[in-house]
Amino acid sequence: MLDSVLFQIAMIITIGVLSQWIAWRFRLPAIVIMSLAGLIIGPFFGLFSPQETFGEIFSPIISLAVAIILFEGSLSLDFREIRGFRHSIVRISTVGALIAWLLGSLAAHYLAGLSLDVAFVIGGLFIVTGPTVIIPLLRQAKLKERPATILKWEGIVVDPFGALVALFAMEVVFFRNQMISGTSLLLFFGASVLAAVIGAGVGFSIGWLLERGYIPEYLKSPIVLGSVLLVFVLSDAIMHETGLLAVTAMGIVMANMHLSSLRDLLHFKENISVLLISSVFIMLTASLSIDTLLEILNWHMLAFVLAMMFVVRPLSIWLSTIGVGLTNKERTLIGWIAPRGIVALTVSGFFADVLVKSGFEGAEIITALTLGLVFSTVLAHGFSIGWLAKKLGLQATEESGVIIVGGGSFTAVLAEAIQSFDKPALIMDREWGRLYKARQLNIKTAVGDILSEHTEFSVDLTPYETLIAASGEDAYNALICHRFLPEYGREHIYQTPMHTGDPSDYSKTLGGKTFLDQGYDIHTLNHLVDEGYTIRKTTLTEQYTYSDYEEDQKSQTTIPLFAVDQDNNLFFLEDNKKRSLDGVTIVSLTSPIRKIIKAIEKAGNSEVSPSTDENV
């Protein structure tokens, strides 16, 4: 059964997705888990060998997957995102890449023992990082906006250029050794320009057709996906490795046409990319041999890898970012994070084959050298990015916060209660006046429509893991929940109960989960706060259980809002009915009568229940 092609395909996808889930569940770098999973089922235990199973179609499958991943990444490269630090990205992608190419080539020659010709070629390839490794790391680390955006743009933009730089270097080496004529160099430049033109032209044409309704909704994603594959294959047929440039150009053009249906395309491509990244990493690592892995332990290779990580990368970033406005902490973080991934692994095999067949000495160790760099950077950067960002103060937040859409009395005191647990809270509203109460309580606020594109680029939503739609308009709340469902997930999207009509007017697929019981709509909650209701915290103990809490609250109007456990994790009681509540602090909106009862108890020196009960 293990030899069945269908079985291996199913297992590769399953193990890849399972690795992603394990990484999410235990807050580990997804790339590391996927790589280890591939090594376990491949060279360590010999359960699968995808390269043997798929034979001649192994490399084409990997190449097409990389093309889709790179296109999906480039679809997010909207130039509006980099206002204020465009110079940093341009410098790193040009001057920084050139410095890394030259220094990497010298390291490959003097430390890894490659000939100057081979080192010149492979040094060009090693400037790449790529979305397959950068984007999972950024998702895990939750960096601040500027370093995260710079790393993302560098990874996507430099990816195709790394392959082209290596291809150009190989053409120069062949020309220097009189193996080709000068015409071939001109053809290389011509093919590169043509690939970019093909990608940009197809991207613009598809975007034009999408906007004018010439493509039906159900065919939009399939047609775009098919076009990406066609552009990649056509460009690659003209000249090898130019397909990556073509699909990147196609994605960037479409991203900056500001298409109305772009977000739907992005969600579709993101889902595919998760499957492809998982599967491709499993396939590549599972196809390695023990001999190749042992080659990595050669001290020459270890010295090269260490030089690339601790000398070449930091030096190229620090030199290329002089005078562009980045802080030393940002330059330190960016100068450390440069994991290599799928593109380096797949493209290095092509160059190794060509150079070995052409008789260049040392080219046979290119695959092992690439593998050593990939694994070392993935492990080192995967486990260190969060720690280093925290030390440098470049993490958006250590705690997962809450964004509340809708200003008012209730949302202001709710946000204040959330902030009292050292969790970030943001209240956003389309009208400045509705945020008056929040500003009085020193709550972070933002004016604007969360559904607008302008807000997407002006408000950093990274620190907020949970969204509560609490505006005065039921339809607007439902629309907000529907819009942000793919980003936050259904478990982290809430909306206040409807105050008009029937709750069944909105399906579960449109709105979010209901925040509080029906009847406590936002207008009622605002009225209660205006009437004197206050936030109260009650800590449960073995002596004072949740049952005691419920019994005590029967004599007064109390509305449980959320709870925080001993590890400072915020959750909603409705979602955790089976959760142990020992040591949990329940935050409630309580009637003013509670103050009167407490005052009477204090005056009469009566015994009170052994719970921690206080006002915020």
Predicted local distance difference test score (pLDDT) of residue 267:
67
Whether 60 maps to a domain, the answer reads no
Place 578 in a pLDDT band, splitting at 50, 70 and 90. very low
Read off the pLDDT of residues 85-99 as tens digits, 9 standing for 90 and up: 788 888 998 999 999
Highest mean pLDDT out of 52-56, 200-204, 293-297: 200-204
Q: CA-CA distance, 153 to 156, in Å (whole number)?
A: 5
User: Over 60: is that where the pLDDT of 492 sits?
Assistant: yes
**Is residue 374 located within the same domain as residue 401?**
no
Residue 5 burial by Cβ neighbours in a 10 Å radius (0-12, 13-18, 19+):
exposed
Enclosing domain of residue 38: 18-47
CATH of the domain at 376: 1.20.1530
Question: Measuring CA to CA, which residue among 165, 163, 264, 272 is closest to residue 228?
Answer: 272
The residue type at 100: A
Mean pLDDT over 231-241 rounds to: 88
**Is residue 378 located within the same domain as residue 267?**
yes
**Is residue 581 located within the same domain as residue 444?**
no
Q: CA-CA distance, 71 to 262, in Å (whole number)?
A: 13
Read off the pLDDT of residues 303-334 as tens digits, 9 standing for 90 and up: 999 999 999 999 999 999 998 889 999 999 99
**Is residue 491 located within the same domain as residue 575?**
no
**Is residue 266 located within the same domain as residue 407?**
no
Residue where a domain terminates, one of 331, 361, 392: 392
Whether 54 maps to a domain, the answer reads no
Predicted local distance difference test score (pLDDT) of residue 383:
84
Place 290 in a pLDDT band, splitting at 50, 70 and 90. confident
Residue 84 burial by Cβ neighbours in a 10 Å radius (0-12, 13-18, 19+):
exposed
HSE-up (13 A, CA, CB side) for residue 375: 22
Domain count, the chain: 4
Predicted local distance difference test score (pLDDT) of residue 170:
85
Read off the pLDDT of residues 540-552 as tens digits, 9 standing for 90 and up: 887 788 787 777 6
Residue where a domain terminates, one of 495, 519, 543: 519
Predicted local distance difference test score (pLDDT) of residue 576:
53
User: Over 80: is that where the pLDDT of 209 sits?
Assistant: yes
Question: Measuring CA to CA, which residue among 588, 458, 607 is closest to residue 520?
Answer: 588
Whole-number percent of the chain with pLDDT over 90: 23
Whether 55 maps to a domain, the answer reads no
Place 179 in a pLDDT band, splitting at 50, 70 and 90. confident
Sequence-separated (6 or more) residues with CB below 8 Å from residue 109: 115, 116, 119
Predicted local distance difference test score (pLDDT) of residue 574:
65
Residue where a domain terminates, one of 334, 360, 392: 392
User: Over 80: is that where the pLDDT of 511 sits?
Assistant: no
Whether 8 maps to a domain, the answer reads no
**Is residue 466 located within the same domain as residue 566?**
no
**Is residue 171 located within the same domain as residue 270?**
yes
Read off the pLDDT of residues 109-160 as tens digits, 9 standing for 90 and up: 999 888 899 999 899 889 988 666 787 777 677 788 789 888 888 888 887 7
Whether 3 maps to a domain, the answer reads no
Question: Helix, strand, or coil here: 287?
Answer: coil
Mean pLDDT over 394-419 rounds to: 87
**Is residue 232 located within the same domain as residue 163?**
yes
With the C-alpha atoms ordered 361, 367, 372, 373, is the resulting torsion angle positive or negative? Answer: positive
Which residue reads 């959760």 in tokens? Answer: 579
User: Over 60: is that where the pLDDT of 416 sits?
Assistant: yes
> Higher model confidence: residue 503 or residue 47?
47
> Higher model confidence: residue 92 or residue 54?
92
User: Over 50: is that where the pLDDT of 74 sits?
Assistant: yes
β pairing state of 558-564 and 444-447: unpaired
Q: CA-CA distance, 103 to 314, in Å (whole number)?
A: 11
> Higher model confidence: residue 293 or residue 416?
416
CATH of the domain at 426: 3.40.50.720
Place 467 in a pLDDT band, splitting at 50, 70 and 90. very high
**Is residue 366 located within the same domain as residue 481?**
no
User: Over 90: is that where the pLDDT of 405 sits?
Assistant: yes
User: Per the structure block, which two tokens stand in for 480?
Assistant: 């907000």
**Is residue 331 located within the same domain as residue 467?**
no
Whether 453 maps to a domain, the answer reads yes
For the chain, the average pLDDT equals 83
**Is residue 99 located within the same domain as residue 158?**
yes
User: Per the structure block, which two tokens stand in for 54?
Assistant: 């798929």
Mean pLDDT over 178-205 rounds to: 86
Sequence-separated (6 or more) residues with CB below 8 Å from residue 575: 491, 513
User: Over 50: is that where the pLDDT of 564 sits?
Assistant: yes
Predicted local distance difference test score (pLDDT) of residue 601:
59
Q: CA-CA distance, 16 to 8, in Å (whole number)?
A: 12
Predicted local distance difference test score (pLDDT) of residue 556:
62
Predicted local distance difference test score (pLDDT) of residue 401:
86
**Is residue 250 located within the same domain as residue 388?**
yes
Place 2 in a pLDDT band, splitting at 50, 70 and 90. low
Whether 2 maps to a domain, the answer reads no
Highest mean pLDDT out of 169-173, 201-205, 507-511: 201-205
Whether 53 maps to a domain, the answer reads no
Q: CA-CA distance, 421 to 503, in Å (whole number)?
A: 32
